[in-house]
Structure 1
Amino acid sequence: MDTELILMQLFSGVALGAILVITALGLSIIFGMLGVVNFAHGALFMVGAYAGLWVASLTGSFWWGLLVAPIMIGVFGMAIEYVLIRPLYGRSIDDPLLLTFGLSYVLVEGVRIVFGSDGIPFPTPSSLTGVVDLGVGFFPIYRIFVVGVVFLVVVLLWLGLEKTKFGLIVRAGARDPAMMKVLGVDISKVWLLVFGLGVGLASLGGVLSGPMRSVNPEMGALVLAEAFVVTVIGGLGSLVGSIIAGLLVGVVISMTALFAPEMATIVMFALMAIVLMIRPQGLFGKLA
């Protein structure tokens, strides 16, 4: 098999993995801080893609869609946390899980009513079309851009969580929220911002994936399954685990699609099963 084809497929896996990383990071942040299993994460990924397409069509600029949509959907996520999820804190973990599960159906049906059930093309900006020669093959410029954006976001997120006072509060609150309350920190505001951040990351993933596939109401379903697989493989609540597992799953899916296309959908679940048999807490997770 041609080496250039293998390298191109490998890079396609990295680009897919980058989308999974940004989506799984949002899921992992929400679970790690709030203990909420957000089953609406895939639907919010999809809503982010539609929001990006809508803003881009209004402004005539993909860049405005990429900038505005994650902020807009992040604020929407904060409203979800404040109105729907906050009253469920302190109750069984199943309650927010079931609520977000139902919310995902509401969001999907709402998008169907507004935009229809058919897929809508999300045009790639002219400045990012075509391919570039990297010396070992020709690679799509847009996919290189996606990897670069995700890398930048991951670095900024790490700096925000590790080098700022807010990041210190988030990390401390994830370990002992009761102690943070005793110290005078309004932990509810922190939860609000963290949930909005997680949803914003999901919507950013939706916007970035739009030009790589058509935007449709069902696009979040598979992404949700992939994001949960990434989160479980990496370790629940582990940001480093989400990054490494996202890239790993993306590459495994892409290379399997090249050699055994019929196995591409299920290979990630096989990988998850193998990891859990060896490390039940995931690659970077901690045993309870």
Structure 2
Amino acid sequence: MATIFGVPIVVLMGQLLIGLINGSIYALLSLGLAVIFGLLRVVNFAHGAFYMLGAFVAWMLLHYVGIGYWWALILVPVIVGVVGAVIERSMLRRLYELDHLYGLLFTFGLALLLEGTFRHFYGSSGQPYATPAAFEGVMNLGFMILPYYRGWVVVASLVICLGTWLLIEKTKMGSYLRAATENASLVQAFGVNVPLLLMLTYAFGCALAGLAGVLTAPIYQVNPMMGSNLIITIFAVVVIGGMGSILGAIATGYLLGIIEGLSKVFYPEASNMVVFVIMAVVLLLRPAGLFGKDT
């Protein structure tokens, strides 16, 4: 059997593919986090809780209402986005003029509240969510067996990330959003409703987290701690890519997922900390991140 550095190619390629799948989740979650910070300058520590909320809403729609996976892909981002809009409109908006630390503390407390509420009602063991019938089964790639659903997650993540980048960077709405973060009063003088834009931005970032929750629900068990287990890694991804950089969040998410997968082959003991080692090195060499702008 052919090997690379003593590792069978079959094992290496399998871990690369697993890393790509994990990177798809990292990219999608860090994308929503980067959108919120880049346009609102809010360190949204509740992002993992909205991810968890999306997975639970999908589970509840299926078990209590009978609404399946495909409708959940449409309804859950809308529901989570509306929750985010209400929170931004009623509470978060009051903190924009204060130090960033207040926004971080508020969203951290919100995350604890959401996680504690779901843990109280559903426990910590987790709830299974069935794989949609269209993606049951596996594909034999020769070097590994790939479940169809995990391949779908990679494709869906790529499409969503690309669509979001195009929306922010290439459309008139995106130009309004970017301009509002630089000089809100000037943009408002041209008749643009800046408070509405900011509310929609936060809602959109929360909706992306909710959509990620729906996509991962059939892969992982739906449990109240699923967001807190990922949020530190996602923050590391955003910091490495550059706080607020949309392209940086996407590229770094996929890259770090692959690096994490490779580390499990060559040095498994380091796989849980390789992301943070890379973050430390990047911050030493380029404090603004790989794609960030120095200020």
TM-score, structure 1 normalization: 0.95
Q: CA 1:129–1:5 in structure 2 vs 1: closer, same or farther (change >3 Å)?
A: farther
* Contact 1:56–1:63 (Cα < 8 Å) also in 2: no
CA displacement at 1:259 relative to structure 2 = 3.3
One-letter code aligned to 1:255 = L
1:185-196 matches, within 5 Å, as: 185-196=192-203
Q: State the distance in 2 between where 1:182 and 1:47 align.
A: 37
Alpha-carbon distance in structure 2 between the residues aligned to 1:225 and 1:277: 19
Q: Which residue of 1 aligns with 2:98?
A: 91
- Which of 233, 239, 262 aligns to 1:232? It is 239
Question: CA RMSD for the aligned pairs?
Answer: 1.5
Alignment of 1:111-190 (within 5 A): 111-134=118-141, 137-190=144-197
Task: Tell me if the contact between 1:234 and 1:241 (Cα under 8 Å) persists in the aligned partners.
Answer: yes
Q: Secondary structure at the match of 1:139?
A: strand
How far the C-alpha of 1:80 sits from its partner, in A, is 0.8
Q: Is the 8 A contact 2:36 2:202 kept in 1?
A: yes
Aligned to 2:139, the other structure's residue is in SS state: strand
Match of 2:19 among 8, 13, 24: 13
Structure-1 separation of matches of 2:269 and 2:219: 21
Q: Using the alignment, how far apart are the partners of 1:56 and 1:265 within structure 2?
A: 33
Residue matched to 1:36: 42
Q: Please say if 1:3 is aligned against 2:13.
A: no
The 8 Å contact of residues 23 and 202 in structure 1, kept in 2 or not, is answered as yes
Given residue 10 of structure 2, which amino acid in structure 1 is its aligned partner?
Answer: E
Q: In the alignment, is the contact (CA less than 8 A) between 1:12 and 1:143 conserved in 2?
A: no
Distance 1:86 1:61 in 2: 35
Q: How many angstroms does 1:89 deviate by?
A: 1.6
Residue aligning to 1:203: 210
- Could you tell me whether the CA contact under 8 Å between 1:120 and 1:216 is conserved in 2? yes
Cα distance in 1, alignment partners of residues 76 and 207 from structure 2: 8
- Name the structure 1 match of 2:222: 215
In structure 1, stretches of 5+ residues that fail to align are: none
> Which of the residues 247, 251, 258 maps onto 1:251?
258
Which 10-residue stretch deviates more, 173-182 or 30-39? 173-182
Whether the aligned pair in 2 keeps the contact of 1:24 and 1:230 (CA below 8 Å) is: yes
1:25 matched to 2:25? The reply is: no
CA–CA distance in 2 between the matches of 1:212 and 1:256?
22
Q: Could you list the per-position Cα deviations for residues 196-253 of structure 1 after superposition, in whole angstroms to 9, with x for gaps in the alignment?
A: 0000111111111112211111111121111101100000110110011101111122
Secondary structure of 1:123's partner?
A: coil
Structure 2 unmatched ranges of 5 or more: 1-6
Is the contact between residue 56 and residue 64 of structure 1 (CA under 8 Å) also seen in structure 2?
no
CA distance in 1, matches of 2:166, 2:255: 23
2:4 aligns with none
